[in-house]
Amino acid sequence: FPQAPDLVDHVNDAFFVDSETKVYLYSPLETLQKRGLPCLELEYEDTKGNAGNFSKLGGLSKEYAVLKDIIISSLVKGTLSSLGLLPTKGVLLHGPPGTGKTSLARLCAHDAGVNFFSVNGPEIVSQYSGESEQALNAVFDSASRAAPAMVFIDELDAIAPARKDGGEELSQRMVATLLNLMDGISRTDGLLVIAATNRPDSIEPALRRPGRLDREIEIGVPSPKQRYDILLVLLREMEHSLSDMQVQHLAMGAHGFVGADLAALCNEAALVCLRCYVNFKKSCDDSHTNGSSVVYEGCCTGTVETSDSEDTRDLFSRDNLESTSSSFSALPVSSEIQNGFNVRVNGTCVVEEKILKVAFEDFERARMKVRPSAMREVILEVPKVKWEDVGGQKEVKSQLMEAVEWPQKHQDAFKRIGTRPPTGVLMFGPPGCSKTLLARAVASEAGLNFLAVKGPELFSKWVGESEKAVRSLFAKARANAPSVIFFDEIDGLAVIRGKESDGVSVADRVMSQLLVELDGLHQRVNVTVIAATNRPDKIDPALLRPGRFDRLLYVGPPNEKDRRDIFSIHLRKIPCADVCIKELALLTEGCTGADISLICREAALAAIEVCWLLIVITWISLFENLFLVTIHVFFF
């Protein structure tokens, strides 16, 4: 059996011949491939030496234990028959892309010691009539002969979509074939079907009934503890200098990241480290006089002893290496640099050793480039607003921090007390009083995924699409928790129901869907909803009860002290001459934060008009624009 010596132990029909006889064994799948039918992957897993294989898959210990128990109890003879129980025929794995569904199925089959047959949904579809069904039949025939075996169907929604959607004839034939094959599996055949999909609602419902895909296992977005386990597995394969505390910090900050996203993060961090190394080498090459050495300015006599001085770490820090000039100062150099570069000093030369280590700074830079895959379909804003950028409103800031920041920083305290944090905050008040700015600041300070939606954006002219948009928004927020959903101008979305006399309007249906998402069957875990409006009287009263919007915060016009803070914020980057902020605060009574911002901008434009060369805001320009804004506020 020269072409596949590792399969000899698994072939049931193999027989002994003398040493001179040449025997070639072909599976039914190989025969199909020779006839030009769709190529399917037949895999036999080596069951020897499988101890400790679970260490290659992090964050899925619970799902691994459940699936492995199902495989062993279903495929090992006598496990359930003695109890009078029927084994499971099929299992459906569903969850977002990149969570490890395929890897989990392969690993469980490997550890259970069963043969593994893999079918990729889109690859099995053929343009010729009947070939797709024939290829699917061939997979099940081969698996039955190699029992105990497991058939894994990836992307099940591609070959078994719901027939009620009126799909193509090929899809309907594939669904019928798969249903017949599932019904044809005997409980004693030693065959188990495992399917994976990230769209469970798009699968034919007949497949999900008992007797076909009996069990369903959801593999969701990993928690911080699971992300930590995944990072440990990924970092095991690369050279790095991260401490355990730094790995925990990365796991806590990677909100919404799945296993594939964390792998992309590690890959990007390695590329950042490599770019730094290449820049360093390029700088060295520019200043080389001999081979791979760097000549320092000055003179070093003899052999320089290595040391761990601060000067060395400053010289070879990652920031300096990226902007290395063509000349260096003669400084003692350590043989073990903290950021992963190893160098040694010999005379006047620094000889670089080929050892690179990815540092925590590399991961911090890579984190800015890699986004969670589940959030790429959503309008995601990354606010860069700090609490210092919002003048005044101390009481509102405190209430927002309790609702958003405290649940993330003091989870243990909430568990000990036995209460849950507020899950909804409604800010209302006159226009221009920093409601939107406050929402951006709290999301930025807490470091959460921020989904900003304007109320009217969710409406669609197609029936059912508006409600679907609301469901999709909350589903994305739950998948990427902890997160913040911010509804700006929510009065355009949450209108009072029952105003239409000719039946239920689109606004009524959207409002009903919003109420269900806020306080319905779906539990909002680590998802905070913040809304802003200047027309609270237009909002449906059902939305304002506790449990939906727990806190109603009035954001009014700033007082004198708040106006001083707002003026200081807007004028801190503008050169000013004879400006008295205290006097300005007294003169702007009744103005909002937006009005004060306009005063400062108009004063800056007035200064530009007066003098193009020396742009300095004076008291006169501020006072003139203050007068114009005051007229606008009080008379229009």
**pTM beyond cutoff 0.85:** no
Count the neighbouring beta carbons within 10 Å of the beta carbon of residue 478: 18
The structure tokens listed for 239 are 């050279």
Strand order through the sheet with 115-120: 41-43, 115-120, 149-154, 191-197, 90-94, 215-218
Domain boundaries for CATH 3.40.50.300 within the chain: 60-218, 394-497+505-554
**pLDDT for 78-137, tens place per residue?**
555 666 677 788 999 998 888 889 889 999 888 888 889 988 877 777 777 778 888 888
The structure tokens listed for 233 are 């597995």
Domain 394-497+505-554 class in CATH: alpha beta
Pick the CATH number of 60-218 from 3.40.50.300, 3.30.420.40, 1.10.645.10, 3.40.50.720: 3.40.50.300
The CA dihedral of 206, 71, 154, 160, to the nearest 10 degrees, is: -10
Beta-strand ranges (E) seen in 412-509 are 424-428, 449-454, 483-488
> Is the confidence at residue 323, as pLDDT, over 50?
no
Percent pLDDT > 70 in the chain is: 69
Q: What is the mean pLDDT of residues 386-390?
A: 86
Strand order through the sheet with 349-352: 293-295, 349-352, 343-346
**pLDDT for 422-471, tens place per residue?**
778 999 999 888 888 898 888 788 777 788 887 777 887 777 788 888 88
C-alpha–C-alpha distance, residues 119 and 105, integer Å: 12
Q: Which CATH architecture has domain 560-619?
A: Orthogonal Bundle (1.10)
> Is the confidence at residue 267, as pLDDT, over 60?
yes
The structure tokens listed for 518 are 């806020």
HSE-up of 274 (CA within 13 Å, CB side)?
Answer: 8
Report how far apart, in Å, the C-alpha atoms of 27 and of each of 24, 134, 146, 499, 561 are: 10, 15, 10, 69, 83
Q: Please list the alpha-helical segments (H only) found in 35-120.
A: 61-75, 101-112
Domain boundaries for CATH 1.10.8.60 within the chain: 224-279+360-368, 560-619
Which residues are bridge partners to 349 per DSSP?
A: 295, 346
Supply the DSSP symbol for 161.
Answer: B
Q: Which of 331, 541, 528 is nearest to 424 (CA)?
A: 528
**pLDDT for 502-546, tens place per residue?**
556 777 888 888 888 887 645 667 788 899 998 888 888 888 888
Dihedrals φ, ψ of 612, to 5°?
-80, -25
Q: Hey, is 461 helix, strand or coil?
A: coil
CATH of region 224-279+360-368: 1.10.8.60
Q: Which residues have CB under 8 Å from 167's CB, separation 6+? A: 161
